[in-house]
């Protein structure tokens, strides 16, 4: 062997020794005195979306309890309507993989020493799936409210005008264990009926895996979940939406018999690390009053104070590839020291107004500048009569992206001599006259303080896209082959059809590629003009999950060509002898 080859072997041996040594020498991180709160990741539940007002209020409350908290809302799409659709239609395994990538690439989350996580309803078990499958950045405390950790045995009832929900539930009731349903219908992927347990173990796409219920266990799931400092599970005492409600506490309910978590085999054999968590005091099982998601601000506030906030202690854990596999990574080993603490300006808690007292101002969708100040004649939005506020103190406008790959922007210009204070994503800026602030973060809340006035400025609500998506769902999942315009209008949620005219609705429909029209003329038997009817065109639907759910899942046939054109029939009096 040549000297050069010997040198290469020595270097390789040293590298292997260091890599293995690092793996087996995981030590707790040192305590830190940094008072910067850890970022908070929130995942919403079924039928909700990341931009919902209630969810934003929860984020604002978290920032009020721990000023400076960076709040990240999990989303499957930047469009709120599409994000809501993804709570019904989608592959949970793929969704969690997307969240793993999104969190790891976020510039703030990826550089934080750890994050806290809050899951509502199904978002709770999905965040647990994130912890078990990747956990990078690592979660310190995971809190879930009304989550289906041990699955559900029945599916939810839908609102009368929630056609997306109705379509999804219809698919689930056909055959919850088919590969099509398990790969595309979200609630089916945590359906767990004890009467069909063998089918569940064989076909479940998500829950059976992250609960480690199959014969072959994933040791990485147990290892990563056990690294949490706190796993806090809340059950709603009067929950009527989740069946059984005890699933929120990992209880196994079979008919009228309920087996508590600590009496279950998954706990005694510690399939996913719950017993290990419990022994170190990290597992908390709690009950809160009310029906599903009827949460009080007091409960949230006490939870945030107890489990979220600044980093106090954190046990270092291996990354997603931390288990010893016998194959060395091609990347150099990472340093084992703690990540640098976040440096961020904090807004004082004493400056915050109550959540319900902060008015919201939506900017003009056409990009026109909105003027705000003391004067009701010079400004379109009057802030206050305070003489320290200029007649036009703030100028704000929405700048739509010229291309789809670019972000939309919100621009705020300080026009007042006494300046303003602006809060956005946990940071605070002091703006003097002539200063400009620009935000490119979709859906970010911008809070502005001008003397004694406070208001929130946000991007215009994308009502058109939301209405179009609701109409498509209505036509796609309806049992009727075609629907008149008046029925479509009546089935829209009250919030979406506010100030919506029939002509505007017709324009939205005609601009939607996957909605066809049957033009009808003439009058009915009562002498009233016939309405045109509209139908779903699956071939033109850009949403693949919805299209497949309708065509392959529900097997709804396309409208026949003879029905796409209206033919007026006349009744003719029969001849009498």
**Enzyme catalytic residues:** 121, 239, 292
Query: What element of type H or E holds 516?
Result: strand 515-518
Half-sphere CA count of 411, side-chain side, radius 13 A: 17
Q: How many secondary structure helices (H) and strands (E) does the chain include? A: 17, 21
Quote the distance between the C-alpha of residue 371 and its chain's center.
Answer: 33
The residue whose two tokens read 């054999």 is 269
DSSP string, 202-216: HH-SSHHHHTT-SSS
Strand partners, 413: 395, 436
- Encoded tokens for 239: 């929950």
Answer for the pair 144, 119: CB distance below 8 angstroms, yes or no: yes
Residues near 293 by Cβ (< 8 Å), separated by ≥ 6?
45, 120, 121, 145, 146, 236, 241
- How far, in Å, CA of 540 to CA of 191, rounded? 32
Report the candidate in 253, 186, 167 with the shortest Cα–Cα distance to residue 44: 186
Residues near 473 by Cβ (< 8 Å), separated by ≥ 6?
85, 163, 164, 167, 546
- How far, in Å, CA of 121 to CA of 181, rounded? 21
Q: For the chain, what is the largest distance between any 2 Cα atoms, rounded to a whole number of angstroms?
A: 120
Answer for the pair 426, 348: CB distance below 8 angstroms, yes or no: no
Residues near 227 by Cβ (< 8 Å), separated by ≥ 6?
135, 138, 315, 317
Q: Phi, psi (5° rounding) for residue 421?
A: -120, 130
Give every strand in the sheet of 40-43, ordered side by side.
71-73, 40-43, 115-120, 139-145, 230-236, 283-288
Answer for the pair 548, 500: CB distance below 8 angstroms, yes or no: no
Give every strand in the sheet of 533-536, ordered side by side.
483-484, 533-536, 515-518
Answer for the pair 234, 250: CB distance below 8 angstroms, yes or no: no
């Amino acid at each position: 062997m040549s000297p050069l080859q010997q040198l290469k072997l020595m270097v390789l041996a040293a590298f292997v020794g260091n890599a293995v040594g690092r793996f087996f020498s995981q030590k707790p991180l040192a305590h830190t005195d940094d008072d910067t709160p850890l970022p908070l990741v929130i995942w919403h539940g079924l039928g909700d979306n990341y931009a919902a007002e209630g969810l934003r209020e929860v984020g604002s409350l978290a920032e009020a309890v721990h000023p400076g908290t960076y709040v990240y809302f999990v989303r499957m799409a930047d469009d709120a309507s599409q994000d809501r659709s993804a709570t019904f239609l989608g592959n949970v395994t793929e969704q969690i993989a997307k969240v793993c990538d999104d969190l790891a690439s976020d510039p703030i989350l990826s550089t934080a020493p750890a994050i806290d996580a809050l899951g509502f309803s199904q978002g709770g078990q999905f965040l647990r799936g994130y912890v078990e499958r990747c956990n990078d950045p690592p979660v310190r405390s995971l809190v879930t409210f009304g989550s289906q950790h041990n699955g559900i045995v029945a599916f939810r009832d839908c609102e009368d005008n929630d056609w997306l929900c109705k379509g999804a539930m219809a698919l689930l009731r056909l055959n919850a264990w088919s590969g099509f349903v398990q790969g595309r219908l979200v609630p089916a992927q945590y359906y767990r009926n004890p009467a069909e347990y063998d089918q569940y173990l064989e076909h479940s796409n998500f829950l059976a895996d992250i609960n480690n219920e199959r014969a072959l266990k994933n040791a990485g799931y147990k290892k990563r979940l056990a690294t949490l400092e706190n796993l806090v599970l809340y059950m709603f005492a009067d929950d009527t939406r989740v069946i059984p409600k005890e699933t929120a506490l990992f209880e196994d309910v079979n008919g009228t018999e309920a087996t508590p978590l600590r009496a279950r085999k998954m706990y005694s054999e510690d399939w996913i690390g719950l017993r290990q968590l419990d022994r170190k005091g990290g597992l908390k099982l709690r009950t809160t009053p009310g029906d599903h998601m009827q949460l009080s601000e007091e409960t949230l506030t006490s939870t945030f104070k107890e489990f979220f906030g600044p980093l106090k202690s954190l046990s270092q854990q291996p990354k997603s590839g931390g288990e010893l596999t016998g194959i060395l990574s091609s990347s150099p080993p990472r340093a084992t020291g703690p990540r640098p603490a976040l440096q961020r300006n904090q807004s004082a808690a004493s400056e915050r107004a109550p959540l319900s007292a902060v008015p919201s101002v939506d900017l003009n969708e056409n990009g026109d500048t909105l003027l705000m100040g003391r004067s009701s004649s010079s400004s379109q939005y009057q802030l206050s009569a305070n003489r320290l506020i200029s007649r036009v103190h703030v100028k704000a406008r929405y700048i739509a992206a010229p291309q789809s790959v670019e972000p939309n922007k919100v621009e705020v210009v300080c026009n007042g001599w006494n300046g303003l204070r602006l809060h956005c994503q946990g940071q605070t800026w002091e703006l003097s006259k002539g200063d400009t602030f620009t935000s490119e973060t979709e859906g970010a809340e911008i809070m502005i303080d001008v003397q004694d006035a406070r208001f929130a400025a946000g991007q215009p609500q994308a009502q058109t896209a939301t209405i179009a998506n609701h109409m498509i769902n209505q036509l796609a999942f309806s049992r009727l082959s075609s629907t008149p315009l008046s029925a479509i209008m009546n089935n829209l949620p009250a919030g979406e059809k506010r100030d919506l005219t029939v002509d505007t609705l017709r324009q939205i429909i005609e601009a939607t590629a996957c909605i066809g029209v049957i033009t009808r003329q003439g009058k009915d038997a009562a002498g009233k003009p016939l309405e045109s009817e509209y139908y779903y065109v699956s071939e033109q639907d850009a949403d693949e999950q919805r299209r497949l759910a309708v065509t392959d899942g529900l097997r709804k046939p396309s409208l026949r060509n003879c029905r796409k054109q209206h033919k007026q029939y006349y009744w003719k009096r029969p001849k009498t002898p």
